[in-house]
Amino acid sequence: MNLDLSGRKPDLDAAREAYDAYTDSQAPRALRKRSLDRFGYQGLVLARASELPAPLPLGHFLRQFGQSDRETIDGGRTVATVPQILAMFNGPITHAMLERGSAIAEQIADKPPGEAVDVIFLTILSRRPDAEDRSLALEAIETAEDAATGHGNVIWALLNTREFLFVQ
Domain membership flag for residue 5? no
Give the dihedral sign, CA 109/91/158/124. positive
Strand-pairing partners, residue 44, are 41
What pLDDT band is residue 1 in, cutting at 50, 70 and 90? very low
Say what the pLDDT of residue 130 is: 94
- Rounded to whole angstroms, the Cα distance separating 98 from 61 reads 16
Name the pTM for this structure: 0.62
Does a structural domain hold residue 92? yes
99 and 25 in a common domain: no
Instruction: Give the number of domains in the chain.
Output: 3
Shared domain for 89 and 156, answered yes or no, is: yes
Are 73 and 134 in the same domain?
no
Task: Tell whether 69 and 87 lie within a shared domain.
Answer: no
What's the mean pLDDT in 117-126? Answer: 92
- Please give the residue range of the domain that contains residue 145: 83-165
Considering the domain architecture, whether residues 14 and 63 belong to the same structural domain is answered as: no
